[in-house]
Amino acid sequence: MKKAISTTNAPQAIGPYSQAVEANGTLYISGQVPVNPATGQIIEGGIKEQTEQVMKNIGAILSEAGYEFSDVVKSTCLLSDMANFKAMNEVYGAYYPENPPARAAFAVKELPLSVLVEIETIAEKP
């Protein structure tokens, strides 16, 4: 059985998708962008600030669904420019100090709302 997950502590979906869907003990979080859920605006700053907001948004969805960052098994990071990889990695890595998830990172031509980073996440309960 699948269950849509939604929280006001993360940006609302900007299209026909759920913030996350839980199915059989696995949580699939849609790609999160650096939008402040309180204002609906892209946060100011560079890649570090944007990655921090993305991770906060992911954390809010994890929490709403009863998961933690330690439950994350896979992330996919989309970057507008691979030159931002190192700085994104520094912020991202702070959320996974032990047993980090599997991950892929790609540079893409463009991201929604012209942001610098988008990260999708899969978590699983032990």
**pLDDT tens string 54-105:** 999 999 999 999 999 999 999 999 999 999 999 999 999 999 999 999 999 9
Q: What is the pLDDT of residue 59?
A: 98
Model pLDDT for residues 13-54, shown as the tens digit of each residue: 888 999 999 999 999 999 999 999 999 999 999 999 999 999
Is residue 96 within 8 Å of residue 90, measured between CB atoms? no
Cα 73 to Cα 18: distance, rounded to the nearest angstrom = 20
Cα 72 to Cα 114: distance, rounded to the nearest angstrom = 26
**Superfamily the domain 2-124 falls into:** RutC-like (3.30.1330.40)
At residue 11's C-alpha, the angle toward residues 9 and 15, to 5°, is: 145
| Residue found by looking up tokens 């929490």 in the block | 63
DSSP state of 60: H
Q: What is the pLDDT of residue 15?
A: 87
In the chain, where the domains are located? 2-124
